[in-house]
Amino acid sequence: VDQSTNLLQQYVITYQIFDDGLSKNRLYDALKRVFKAKIQCVWIIERTFGTVNTNISEPSNENSMFI
């Protein structure tokens, strides 16, 4: 949260995978979990504070799993 404007600037979501447990399946499972958590954060923020209507001229990939 930016202290001067009291606006949320970023949030961080992590999911830990250890080297000895790394496999293709675990990697994709971790990506899926992080993506679902990101969508849930966006949903909770929009539900709590509402959406902001901005005029965006460039397409956004804010809901893309591959950012």
- pLDDT, tens digit, 9 for 90 and up, residues 50-61: 876 665 566 566
Written in H, E and C, the secondary structure of 1-38 is CECCCCECCCCCCCCCCCHHHCCHHHHHHHHHHHHHHH
Identify whether 35 is part of a domain.
yes
Q: Report the number of distinct structural domains present in the chain.
A: 1
| 2 belongs to a structural domain | yes
Residue 60 lies in a domain: no
Prediction pTM value: 0.63
pLDDT tens-digit series, residues 12-26? 888 999 999 899 999
Tell me, yes or no, whether 64 lies in a domain.
no
